[in-house]
Structure 1
Amino acid sequence: MKFITTSAFSAAIATALATLAAPAFAANDNAEFARGRLLVEARAGLTATEFETMLKPHGGKRRKLGQSNLHVVELPANANEQAVLAQLKKHPGVKFAELDKRVKVSMAVNDPYMGSEWHQAKINAPAAWDASQGAGVVIAILDSGVNGAHPDLAPNLVAGYNIYGSNTDTSDVCGHGTPVAGSAAAATNNGAGVAGVAGQAKIMPVRIAYLDTATNSCYAYYSTIASGITWAADHGARIANVSFDGAAGSSAIQSASQYMKNKGGLVFIAAGNNNRDEGFAASTSLIAVSATDSSDARSSFSSYGNFVSLAAPGSYIYTTNNSLGYSAWNGTSFASPIAAGVAALMMAANPALDSGKIESLLFSTAADLGAAGRDPIFGYGRVDAGAAVQAAKNYAPPADTVAPTVALAAPLANSTVSGTVTVTTSSSDNVGVTRVDLKVNGTVVATDTAGPFSFAWDSNGVVNGMAQLVAVAYDAAGNAASSTPISVNVANGVPAPAIDTTPPTVAITNPTSGAVSGTVNVGISAADNNGAAGISLTLYIDGAKKASGTGSSLGYSWNTRKESSGAHTIQIVAKDAAGNTTSTSVQVTR
């Protein structure tokens, strides 16, 4: 038989996922989904007011997942999830919406001890270990927990979190996370047991699954996986591993993976053990891993398809188990953390490399199997730790002086718009576009960091008449380019003038209180009883003015790497046309 794969932030996750303890579920296209729950990501720039207005007819309540732009939407008990989903997908401010499907890890009998860790030699790990063993890199194991008492794991464990149970109990409830963790980073040079691929990396257990006692099977939800990735990214992990079947097909998990990638990390996901083409589209946000055997052939159980990025050994992998001993296992559940361990070796060998370069070197150094180039069975090939670490260690980045190109695709120039307007862009770069800002009449109103880059612009934030839109694209080297400006005719209803003594409302939609790192996209949302066009917004960080603009939204890209460690205060001051003023602030920690 085969192993079938499959602070403030913590408080927010606990509230958002409180209903998971005793889940009810239904079936849709042969997949089970949580009743009363959807996953939604709004387009950059959608105001908090418009988001609430969008959900109100359905009785929906949204909760943000950490510092990401993902939201869990809870619906009333009598709601039809699929009908609400169909309506939300039509809204111009929604980037994606999906059912909160649950995915399974089904444990089977372990194979007997095969006598050696054959996979280490196959991926050329000993050559890599001369240069790197993963020291200083944290690998988040998103799974059923990890047995912290295991002697080959205990030395490498750091604090994690139980997303599913909303507590700090990360013990292994299904016996799956412990062998997955050992495959990636069981301790080396400790005179006992096995060696993980990155034996000096740290293991962060993030429990995202629960044991269904009726079937003795382990399940996670899209929401718990996406939450776990976001939590890990916000708490210092550079790598996350997800060994659950079907996870690569979730838009929410892809979005969370892109969030981690933007913060310098990478997410590895098991391709599945269904011996079929899963039919998922390829994604640049995560690395899906298929399994190979000792002959470099596809493991008979391994799933495949265009979404597969990489291959790694997954047959008879000798690793740690939940009984504090060792066993041999089969599955893409183990191919994925083996590939993740190689990435940790590369990050430790050259900490200056960003996630995109680690990924590209991982792919370019893989042993090309099957059809030449990338193919649906092996992706770019079977991972080669020795070649990958050598490439990372020796890499000297060429100077990137080529600016991106960007154009506004919608709305059309000189068209008439009103209400929430979907703004789409097309962009390209010789290396890659990392973010796109939308400027309206010279003010940055929103920032998007994940392609396809698009926005929900509240046109009520400007006076009626012609408004100028410009998109600005940036690459990782800081090169920037602006689109050709277009003008559109804004035609919204105008509130009747009245004596105004009511101050505007204003909210900081991102970040929330808690830890921040890297580049943080500060999002501001405002509204006023006499219309948003008269609002002026000023953003301060630690009392220093950083950005200003007019209307219902304001965006700012804050590079926290330039800030000192410790607490920082973000404040926004809003003033309407009558001079009424209000402000709000949020405290974060770098």
Structure 2
Amino acid sequence: MKVFMYLWVAFCLCTSAFSQDLIYKVKEKLTEKQSRRLASVMNKFEKVDKPRRFKKRHHKASRFAKKLRLKKREFRKTTSVKSQIETLKQTGLFDYIEEDTIEHEIAFQVNDPHADRQWHHSNIETLGAWDFTQGSASVVVAVCDSGVDANHEDLQGVVLPGYNFVDDNSDSSPSTNHGTQVAGLIAAQTNRSGGHGIAPLSKILPLRITNDGNTFLSTIVECIEYAADNGAKVINVSFTGINSNAVQAAGEYAKSKGALLVYAAGNQGRDRGSWPDHQDVLAVGATTEKERRSSFSNYGHFIDIVAPGSNIYTTSPNNRYSSVSGTSFSAPIVSGAAALIYALNTQADPSEVEKFLIQGTRRVGDEFSFGAGLLNINESVRLAFESWQTPPPSQDEPTPNEPTPMTPSLYVEDISLTVFYSWSRARTEANILIKDNLGEAVVGAEVKVDIDGEEVIAITDSNGIAFFQTEQKSRNHRFIYQVLNVSAPGYQYQPDDNLETNANIRARRRFWFF
């Protein structure tokens, strides 16, 4: 069985209300013995409702955010988060385990709002790239940030309906200036209002992950997944957290959906030589107008490419403009360049788009500080154009101001087992919840399940639940349920999206005293 699931685990450091969340990934191929051991480990936890978001299930439940909490009886055994992580690592059941840290926007405001107006365009040769393309409405760039001002004079008609991960609603209006500043660098219009983006004909999908500039790492990971599932070709993250293994896994997932993840390198100005060089995350450092590394830009082997990031002029909420600095603004410049390349071929593989970005760079220093080099949009777009020559026929563009539609699909949301005892025997009942890719319960779906080696079929009711029950067995019998298939007219079953596929429970022997 392929296990590909990210879970939140609340480790209580003591018997008080304080807890620490973790993100981990279970190894994909476990032996039967390892599966039993995993079940034993997970028995120390209990399922709880996710308190911060997704209460209304506006979209498919995230495989990255299933939450468990250490049971009260285990509190006294808990020493520290670090020791719990090490204990779980030693089981050999997990690819990685890490804390769900709080991440931050990475930007600085510059005093003079009109300084060096958009010098970056000449530095990276934006106008030369426009001889080939200015973008396409079929190319959606997701901005995982603080929301975007869709009414800004330079962003009108560019911003699609978005999503708010903090408040579980569609309010993607700006909570800070940061998201609007990022979006303007990608797709501000060429209307002579104040500045223009790299790919002004592309669309912005605003995904709000913060109300105050801070957010959980898990929220960033969920945002990346949501963007990939909702048709984004480029996903921009201008927050800290690039060194996370969960971010790499989310980037890998995005690539599998045809999207390129572009991530800011961070503003601590430190040697990050110990950070992993994630293969599925395009890490972007910052440079000055003189093509030197910006003093605040992190550096190390993980850097893939650099782009202008000091004194960058861009949009701000309420029809304002400002000059800002940070790798937060280098990343969207690269995201805009990626959007131009996708506009030449909307079916391009993300790795191919990244290849053209890297090949088009100009060497300005050593790889440790500058990666492959400084972004040159003109050269990257030219290379892509010449490689593809005549772009392949484009598919129908999505309706303006609407996200790219998703193919209706089915997945297993939950398997709930209950044991019923009758003197020396026991039986089980199971409720299996089926949902679609919008997070809605599916009525009338046929669910085929293997129960102790016997195939059984049931139909979901008005609540999307298929009911199963077993015959009585002797006590101490282990009842094993495995979902084999789910089908319904007009839907496609996606077993890789299942939050649960297998479940088992043992009917324990009990001793009675009279």
- TM-score w.r.t. the length of structure 1 is 0.61
CA contact under 8 A between 2:106 and 2:266: conserved in structure 1?
no
Q: Distance in 2 between matches of 1:90 and 1:553?
A: 28
In the other structure, the counterpart of 1:85 is 85
Q: Structure 1 residues 396, 129: closer, same or farther in 2, change over 3 A?
A: closer
3-state SS of the aligned residue for 1:256? helix
CA contact under 8 A between 1:226 and 1:253: conserved in structure 2?
yes
Q: CA deviation at 1:149?
A: 2.0
CA deviations on 1:368-418 (whole Å, 9 max, x unpaired) are 2213xxx12111111111111111122249xxxxxxxxxxxxxxxxxxxxx
- Alignment partner for residue 43 of structure 1, among 1, 13, 27? 27
1:276 aligned onto 2:270: yes
3-state SS of the aligned residue for 1:303? coil
CA contact under 8 A between 1:145 and 1:178: conserved in structure 2?
yes
CA deviations on 1:494-549 (whole Å, 9 max, x unpaired) are xxxxx9996897979xx962069xxxxxxx99775x5xxx46699xxxxxxxxxxx
Alignment of 1:481-496 (within 5 A): none
In the other structure, the counterpart of 1:363 is 358
Please say which of residues 226-235 and 45-54 is displaced more in the overlay.
45-54
Unaligned residue ranges in structure 2 (runs of 5+): 1-5, 390-423, 440-446, 458-479, 503-514
Q: Distance in 2 between matches of 1:500 and 1:368?
A: 74
Q: Distance in 2 between matches of 1:50 and 1:526?
A: 23
CA contact under 8 A between 1:55 and 1:61: conserved in structure 2?
no
In the other structure, the counterpart of 1:314 is 309
3-state SS of the aligned residue for 2:23? strand
CA contact under 8 A between 1:275 and 1:301: conserved in structure 2?
yes
Q: Distance in 1 between matches of 2:156 and 2:38?
A: 44
- Alignment partner for residue 224 of structure 1, among 219, 223, 228? 219
Q: Distance in 2 between matches of 1:243 and 1:25?
A: 31
1:391 aligned onto 2:365: no
In the other structure, the counterpart of 1:168 is 170
3-state SS of the aligned residue for 2:211? strand
CA contact under 8 A between 1:268 and 1:286: conserved in structure 2?
yes
Alignment of 1:36-435 (within 5 A): 36-45=20-29, 53-59=40-46, 66=60, 69-76=63-70, 80-105=80-105, 108-112=108-112, 113-135=114-136, 136-188=138-190, 190-211=191-212, 218-245=213-240, 247-278=241-272, 279-371=274-366, 375-396=367-388
CA contact under 8 A between 2:284 and 2:303: conserved in structure 1?
yes
Q: Structure 1 residues 61, 39: closer, same or farther in 2, change over 3 A?
A: farther
CA deviations on 1:210-240 (whole Å, 9 max, x unpaired) are 31xxxxxx21111010010011111111111
CA contact under 8 A between 1:36 and 1:74: conserved in structure 2?
no
Q: Which protein is richer in strand relative to its size?
A: 1
Q: Distance in 2 between matches of 1:182 and 1:382?
A: 21
Q: Distance in 2 between matches of 1:96 and 1:115?
A: 44
Q: Distance in 1 between matches of 2:184 and 2:146?
A: 14
3-state SS of the aligned residue for 1:267? strand
3-state SS of the aligned residue for 2:157? helix
CA contact under 8 A between 1:137 and 1:238: conserved in structure 2?
yes
Q: Distance in 1 between matches of 2:306 and 2:448?
A: 44
Q: CA deviation at 1:43?
A: 2.1
Q: Distance in 1 between matches of 2:49 and 2:361?
A: 42
Q: Distance in 2 between matches of 1:259 and 1:235?
A: 13
- Alignment partner for residue 513 of structure 1, among 436, 448, 453? 436
Q: Distance in 1 between matches of 2:437 and 2:285?
A: 36
CA contact under 8 A between 2:47 and 2:67: conserved in structure 1?
yes
3-state SS of the aligned residue for 2:43? helix
Q: Distance in 2 between matches of 1:62 and 1:225?
A: 19
CA contact under 8 A between 1:134 and 1:201: conserved in structure 2?
yes
Q: Structure 1 residues 303, 125: closer, same or farther in 2, change over 3 A?
A: same
Please say which of residues 328-337 and 106-115 is displaced more in the overlay.
106-115
CA contact under 8 A between 1:35 and 1:81: conserved in structure 2?
no
Q: Structure 1 residues 535, 507: closer, same or farther in 2, change over 3 A?
A: farther
Q: Distance in 2 between matches of 1:152 and 1:269?
A: 24
Q: Distance in 2 between matches of 1:570 and 1:331?
A: 40
Q: Distance in 2 between matches of 1:130 and 1:58?
A: 58
CA contact under 8 A between 2:448 and 2:455: conserved in structure 1?
no
Q: Structure 1 residues 525, 307: closer, same or farther in 2, change over 3 A?
A: farther
Q: Distance in 1 between matches of 2:353 and 2:118?
A: 25
Q: CA deviation at 1:133?
A: 1.5
Q: How many residues end up aligned between the 2 structures?
A: 407
Q: CA deviation at 1:244?
A: 1.1
Q: Distance in 2 between matches of 1:51 and 1:180?
A: 42
In the other structure, the counterpart of 1:568 is 492
Q: Distance in 2 between matches of 1:505 and 1:313?
A: 57
Unaligned residue ranges in structure 1 (runs of 5+): 1-12, 27-33, 212-217, 398-498, 517-523, 539-550, 559-563, 576-590
In the other structure, the counterpart of 1:445 is none
Q: Distance in 1 between matches of 2:100 and 2:448?
A: 27
Q: Could you tell me which amino acid in structure 2 is paired with residue 174 of structure 1? A: T
Q: CA deviation at 1:119?
A: 0.5
Q: Structure 1 residues 346, 67: closer, same or farther in 2, change over 3 A?
A: farther
CA deviations on 1:73-96 (whole Å, 9 max, x unpaired) are 342585654343233323333222
CA contact under 8 A between 1:42 and 1:69: conserved in structure 2?
no
- TM-score w.r.t. the length of structure 2 is 0.69
Q: Could you tell me which amino acid in structure 2 is paired with residue 88 of structure 1? A: L
Q: Structure 1 residues 119, 232: closer, same or farther in 2, change over 3 A?
A: same
